[in-house]
Structure 1
Amino acid sequence: MSRSKSLQYYIFARILLAPLMIWTIITIVFLLLRATPGDPADAILGTRAPQSAKDALREELGLNAPLWLQYFRYLIQVLNFNLGTSLSSRGQNVWDVIQEYFPATVELSLFAIIVAITIGVSIGIISASRPNTLFDIGGRLFGIITYSLPLFWVGMIMQLIFAVQLRWFPLGTRFPVGMPTPKTITGLYTLDSLFSFNFAQFFTSIYYLVLPCITLGLLLSGIFERIVRVNLKQTLKSEYVEAARARGIQENTILISHALKNALIPVITVMGLTFAALLGGAVLTEVTFSWPGLGNRLYEAISLRDYPTVQGIMVFFGIIVVFASILIDIINALIDPRIRY
């Protein structure tokens, strides 16, 4: 089989698996929500509401129907690109909820992944290029510590030090209260302010992003540090690197032009999947920093037993992760011809 046909078969197989993975996510989310304790009617109306009102609400929401019928109705809804109506947002469509809150999550995730890659790759290169030194030991300790620290604890410590004690950064919001937000173009305040040529709003949005982004990016940087350090160490011991040294090429040139290029291939996979996971799993960060993103909205919906909103957001996040993983697999297959089915 030729390389082009093999690549086409690989891409086709990955795309063909996407509907199966999405259906699995939909099914798991639906069943887990129905298995969790609590009643949406109690969460919405309160435990002191009349039983007749609760029964009427359950009937309206379709919760009195058999489980298989609820599941079938929800599948039909999703196939029609209808994620339902939010119970806790006064009848707001779930798609509108996602559109309202998702840009804040994208902005937080984008800047956090930039911080993580910058710190992690830099420390990984320094550590791998100086084996068995204090730099190497420090890099390993950095990777272990940042990987193991709980995010919510670090977030609270960072807020306590830099927002409460030192008052260097703001706390618990995305933009100053009372100050007009940037004109909505993309929903990302940093980009919208630049597109509007309003640099005061741009620097203000960056200022409010700094603390949550550095906290999240710092903890994620340990992943990139460990991958870069391990792969770069192995690459520096390879035969083509030894041949380059034998030809008298400078060590910095070998490191940047030869070894680092191959060592960064696994980072592409981790970078894509980490960013997708950030979009779908920034709940702890957003709740800890009171960031008005989709993760924080998901937490509120779970607390209120808002089935449609929780299901819709989880399915939306799942679809993002599925297609991000497919895209990363395709990019890796284009870069590395050894990756095939």
Structure 2
Amino acid sequence: MSRSKALQYYILTRILLAPLMLWTIVTIVFLLLRATPGDPADAILGNRAPEAAKEALRERLGLSDPLWLQYLNYLGQIIRFDLGSSLSSQGLSVWEVIVQHFPATVELTFYGMGVAVLLGVGVGMFAASHPGTIFDAGGRLFGIITYSLPLFWMGMVFQLIFSVQLGWFPLGTRFPVGAESPTTLTGLYTLDSLLTGNLGQFLTALHYLALPCLSLGLLLSGIFERMVRVNLKQTLRSDYVEAARARGIPERRILFAHGLKNALIPVITVLGLTIATLLGGAVLTEVTFSWPGLGNRLYEAITLRDYPTVQGIMVFFGVIVVFASIVIDLINAYIDPRIRY
């Protein structure tokens, strides 16, 4: 089988398996929500509400039906692309909640991933180009520490140092309270402020974005640092690199043109696997910094026992992870002709 045919077969298989993976996510979230203690009627109406009112609410929400019937009804909604109505945001559907909060999460994850890639690749490349030195040991230590630190703890330490003690950055939120936010075009404050030509709003948005994206980026930078350092070390010891040195090619050119290019191939693969970690990290970061994104909204929905919102957001995140993994596989196959499926 030719490489192009094999790749087409692999992508088709992944696409056909995507509904199965999403069904697994839907089923697990559905069962876990109903296995945990708590009653949505109590969360919505309060513990002191009359029992008759609570029972009427359960009937209206379908929570009094048998579990298997609730499950089948929800699967039917998913098939119709109907995520239901939010219980904690009266008058809003789950799709409207996602559209309202997702741009903030996109902005945070985009800048956080940028910090992770730049810092992780930079430190990993510098450590690998100085093997056996203090820089190599420092790079190894950097990867271990950043990978193992709890994200919420690191975010609170940043808040304590840079917000409370030094006063350089705000404690949280996305924009100053009472200030006019950028005109909504894409929902991304930094991009919208640039598109409308408002430099002041752009700098303000970056100021509020700095600590959250640095916290999220540091968490992921350790993954990239370790991958780049290990693979670049192996690449720089390969025969074709030694041959390039023998021809008198400058070391800097060897590092970037020969070593780093090949060392980044496994990093791109890991990038796809990092999407799920990135979304999970975004939830913790948004809660820590009161960032009004989809992760923070998911946390609130879990606290309020808002079944439709939790299930809808998790399905939405699941679609993103599945789609991103397929795209990364395509990119990886394109840049590395040696890959076979």
1:113 aligns with 113
TM-score by length of 1: 0.97
RMSD over equivalenced CA pairs, Å: 1.2
Q: Which amino acid aligns with 1:233?
A: K
Secondary structure (helix, strand or coil) at the match of 1:264 reads helix
The answer to whether the 8 A contact 1:120-1:224 is kept is yes
Alignment deviations for residues 103-154 of structure 1 (CA, whole Å, 9 cap, x no partner): 1111011011111111110100010011000000000000001111111111
**Per-residue deviation at 1:280?**
5.0
Secondary structure (helix, strand or coil) at the match of 1:322 reads helix
Q: Give the distance between the partners of 1:4 and 1:324, measured in 2 at CA.
A: 20
| 1:104 is the counterpart of 2:104 | yes
The answer to whether the 8 A contact 1:10-1:340 is kept is no
2:240 aligns with 240
- The alignment-based identity, stated in percent, is 75
Q: Which amino acid aligns with 1:298?
A: L
The answer to whether the 8 A contact 2:42-2:54 is kept is yes
Q: Which amino acid aligns with 1:107?
A: E
2:284 aligns with 284
2:207 aligns with 207
TM-score by length of 2: 0.97
2:123 aligns with 123
2:78 aligns with 78
Greater CA drift, 330-339 or 120-129 = 330-339
Greater CA drift, 244-253 or 28-37 = 244-253
Secondary structure (helix, strand or coil) at the match of 1:49 reads coil
| 1:132 is the counterpart of 2:132 | yes
Q: Which amino acid aligns with 2:205?
A: S
Q: Call closer, same or farther: CA 1:118–1:130 in 2, change over 3 Å.
A: same
Q: Which amino acid aligns with 2:199?
A: F
Q: Give the distance between the partners of 2:20 and 2:124, measured in 1 at CA.
A: 37
Greater CA drift, 152-161 or 266-275 = 266-275
**Per-residue deviation at 1:281?**
4.3
Q: Structure 1 unaligned runs (5+)? A: none
Q: Which amino acid aligns with 2:238?
A: S
Q: Give the distance between the partners of 1:334 and 1:118, measured in 2 at CA.
A: 23
1:24 aligns with 24
Q: Give the distance between the partners of 1:261 and 1:287, measured in 2 at CA.
A: 37
2:294 aligns with 294
1:184 aligns with 184
1:15 aligns with 15
The answer to whether the 8 A contact 1:110-1:275 is kept is no
Alignment deviations for residues 66-92 of structure 1 (CA, whole Å, 9 cap, x no partner): 111111111111111110100011131
2:92 aligns with 92
Q: Call closer, same or farther: CA 1:280–1:156 in 2, change over 3 Å.
A: closer
Greater CA drift, 293-302 or 281-290 = 281-290
Q: Which amino acid aligns with 2:247?
A: R
**Per-residue deviation at 1:276?**
4.9
1:45 aligns with 45
Q: Give the distance between the partners of 1:277 and 1:147, measured in 2 at CA.
A: 11
Q: Give the distance between the partners of 2:162 and 2:37, measured in 1 at CA.
A: 38
The answer to whether the 8 A contact 1:190-1:206 is kept is yes
Q: Which amino acid aligns with 2:175?
A: F
| 1:57 is the counterpart of 2:57 | yes
**Per-residue deviation at 1:334?**
2.0
The answer to whether the 8 A contact 1:280-1:318 is kept is no
Secondary structure (helix, strand or coil) at the match of 1:98 reads helix
The answer to whether the 8 A contact 2:151-2:281 is kept is no
**Per-residue deviation at 1:272?**
3.3
2:5 aligns with 5
1:253 aligns with 253
Q: Structure 2 unaligned runs (5+)? A: none
Q: Give the distance between the partners of 1:160 and 1:241, measured in 2 at CA.
A: 47
Secondary structure (helix, strand or coil) at the match of 1:170 reads coil
**Per-residue deviation at 1:277?**
3.5
Secondary structure (helix, strand or coil) at the match of 1:282 reads helix
Greater CA drift, 224-233 or 263-272 = 263-272
Q: Give the distance between the partners of 1:49 and 1:129, measured in 2 at CA.
A: 67
**Per-residue deviation at 1:47?**
1.4
Greater CA drift, 117-126 or 330-339 = 330-339
Q: Give the distance between the partners of 2:73 and 2:294, measured in 1 at CA.
A: 25
The answer to whether the 8 A contact 2:3-2:340 is kept is no
| 1:331 is the counterpart of 2:336 | no
Q: Give the distance between the partners of 1:82 and 1:331, measured in 2 at CA.
A: 32
Secondary structure (helix, strand or coil) at the match of 2:113 reads helix
| 1:68 is the counterpart of 2:89 | no
Q: How many residues align?
A: 341
